[in-house]
Amino acid sequence: MTEKPQVDFEEVVKASGMPVTEEEIRDRFNAIATEEGIITNTSRMSPFWRLVTAIVTAPVMWLKEVLISTVLANMFVATASGSMLRLLAWAVNITPKPASAAQGVIRFYKEDASAVVTVKAGTVIQTERINGRVYELAITEDVVIASGTASALLPVKATGTGGAYNLAPGYYRILPVAVDGISHVASEENWLTVPGADEESDDELRERCRNQFNLVGNYHTDAVYRSMIAGVAGLSIDRIFFEHEAPRGPGTANAYLLLDSGVASAPFVDAVNDYINTQGHHGHGDDMQCYAMPETLHDLAVTVWVRNLNNISDDEQKR
């Protein structure tokens, strides 16, 4: 994506002839007072004149700040933020993506395979403390694990929203409150069925607004597929890359999704492919498939410059 333009709106206002500093405002006001000739004592030593000047200068500075920081900045997608950016997004038929909670399945293991065990909705499964925070999932419905079944996958949903809950297999394994008949729990490979997502940031929303202008023709171009994928998978559009040139034969194209490191890719990819292919959101004759961006390994050589070597021993310096 192209770099966002940086505009100095104060220079824009100044170029139009508007005074932008207190000194410039005072000089302009003094010039007007002199032209009118109605005030004879304009000395800086006059308390009356200092009061009048302050009464005029302060509101002009307030208006200047509002004009530069709020009005002008929020007129353009490139510089707008917050609720004003969302208003501009509405104008191009885009709804900001809210934060969503992760959903998946956790395997519950019974102490006795022959027993009938009931796991109540709201049962919590949590992680160890990670960077000072404990992540929790909750069972979404009452489940009865029948006799003869040693374990079962139970539906869960994160107790909070955001992508931080999309943890790798094995993290969710603690029952803070014991469940009768259950020995232990575990999150397995591909436990995540619906990834959690953070609220769409201003930068991500800006890129979707820009991409929207490419959809006017409504043909199934890169812009259309990019918009659909970003809406379904919760990815920003700068993480979606296309491979053309019929990689799987005539009429085919691939899209590669760049996911965060450590995040299970299957739920994202499956959700997008289902939306595009199974639900019919593709062009006539199009064969579009999405894949996770392949991982590659690289050897990196790093040079470190240390300002002060006093705290490093000779042996450590030799390493």
CA distance 302 to 247: 36
Contact status, residue 159 vs residue 138, Cβ threshold 8 Å: yes
Higher-confidence residue of 147 and 232: namely 147
Of 57, 75, 93, the last residue of a domain is: 75
CA distance 271 to 268: 5
The total domain count for the chain is: 3
Same domain, yes or no: 223 and 275: yes
Sign of the CA dihedral running 253, 259, 264, 267: negative
More confident residue, 284 or 252: 252
Judgement on whether residues 272 and 240 belong to the same structural domain of the protein: yes
Asked, for residue 200, whether it belongs to a domain, the answer is no
Q: What is the pLDDT of residue 172?
A: 96
pLDDT exceeding 90 applies to what percent of the chain?
A: 37
Residue 86's contacts (CB-CB under 8 Å, 6 or more residues apart) are 96, 205
Asked whether residue 242 is assigned to any structural domain, the reply reads yes
Does residue 125 contact residue 136 with C-beta atoms inside 8 Å?
yes
Whats the size of the chain, residue-wise? 319
Angle at 286 between CA 283 and CA 292, to 5 degrees: 110
Residue 184 pairs with which residues in a beta bridge?
109
**What does the CA dihedral 7, 11, 15, 20 come to, rounded to 10 degrees?**
140
Give 64-75 pLDDT, tens digit per residue.
999 998 999 999
Q: Is residue 82 domain-resident?
A: no
Does residue 30 belong to any structural domain of this protein? yes
The answer to whether residues 166 and 198 touch, using CB atoms and an 8 Å cutoff, is: no
Does 186 lie in the same domain as 108? yes
Residue numbers of the domain that contains 274: 217-292
SS3 208: helix
